[in-house]
Structure formats: structure tokens, C-alpha cells
Chains A and B, each alone.
Chain A
């Protein structure tokens, strides 16, 4: 009965490769997010979708492309992976845009680029 699930949990790949991370939520929420947590544990928002529409796009390299096929899914595709992309990526969802934007996080995907 996992509320927000992500796959894979771990991802080890070489520089230059392309990879995808998938996220699904069964909470019925309208809004989904991707966050990046660096080695110092700082959590920074990357993207947000509301009902499949992109509403937040922070200063993220265009090698990162999110896609939301429906409001329960938000995937993240990364092209031409670089060493600096190594981090833990969290998917999250929240009920909607009315605030206070309480986040329900997935378990994270630890990406290691070698």
C-alpha cells in the first residue's frame, strides 16, 4: 500500500548514458514533484506538475526532462549523465495547488554516475 513509489531504488551508470526514474502515487493527489538531494542533504525542487501540466521548472539543465502521462505518474528522464548528477532523487506529491503544499515523499532513487 505504498503511497508514493519510485523505481529503481538504486541506479549506477556511466557518464554519457541516458536513464529514467519512474514515480507513481496512489493518494489521488493532483500535484507531483521531483527533488534532488545532494551529498550535504540539501533538498532542492526541480520540477512540479499539476494534473499533467508543468507548473514549476527550476534552473535545471535541459538534459533533465520530466514527463507526466497522467496525474498519478511523473517520470524523470536524464540524458548524457554527468558526474555531478550523482545524488538522491525524490519524487513527492501533494493534494493540490491551494497550499500549504504538504509533501508526501517517495523512498528516493540513489543515482551514482561513474
Chain B
């Protein structure tokens, strides 16, 4: 059972465009994280959101945690080729479960 569904699976856009990536679940998470992975490297943590409705900004990236803490979105404004990578969301169930559940990722390609 895949607890976290990411969409779209693949996204190819031109430099300067805006985009949104979604991470959805029927389960409630105590926190949710977003990672970016580049080819040949390990995932790198971008942000953690913990409060329902929370919005965090990281330069041109805006992350939102759903009010019910079941979903999240990542919006990138004016995408650049350096944003290319695999974006992974991961949720912590809490309640003594000491592990993250990862989505299958969104592979983003930003063409110059």
C-alpha cells in the first residue's frame, strides 16, 4: 500500500515557468518533508512542515501542508535549470513510529 501519492510523476517545463507538485494521502501525518535528489546523489532535505495549513518559503519554492495534515504541495516560481531533479515527499506517522514513508517522487526537468 502506497501511503503517499505524488503527482505528476514526470514534469518537463521551460525555464521561467511556474509549477506545482502534489503529495497526497488518506492518512494523517505528524509532519511532512520534501527532499530533492540529483542524479548520482542522495536526497537532500528542503523543508519540514508540521502544522496543518503551514506555509514555508525557500527562495522561489513554496511548501504548503494541508489543513488536515494529509497532503502537501510544492510550488516553484520561475523555474530554473538548477531546479531539475527528483522531488520526494516523505511523511512521519508519529505515535511511536520512527520511520518516514516516501512518495515515489516527481522527476522535474527544466529546459533552458
Contacts and interface: CB of A to CB of B under 8 A. Distances in A.
A75 B45 CA distance: 23
Contacts of B86: 41
B43 A103 contact: yes
Contact residues of B: prevailing secondary structure? strand
A41 B104 contact: yes
A55 B102 CA distance: 18
A61 interface: no
A3 to B, nearest CB: 10
A26 to B, nearest CB: 15
B44 interface: yes
Contact of B98 (A41, A92, A97, A107): A97
A24 to B, nearest CB: 14
B48 A41 contact: no
B48 A100 contact: yes
7 contacts: A44-B102, A50-B98, A90-B43, A92-B42, A100-B31, A102-B33, A102-B48
Given A50-B98, A107-B40, 12 more contacts: A41-B86, A43-B105, A55-B98, A90-B42, A90-B43, A99-B92, A100-B92, A101-B100, A102-B45, A103-B45, A107-B41, A108-B40
Interface of A: 4, 31, 33, 40-45, 48, 50, 55-56, 90, 92, 97, 99-108
Interface of B: 30-31, 33, 35, 37, 40-45, 48, 50, 86, 88, 90, 92, 94, 98-100, 102, 104-105, 107
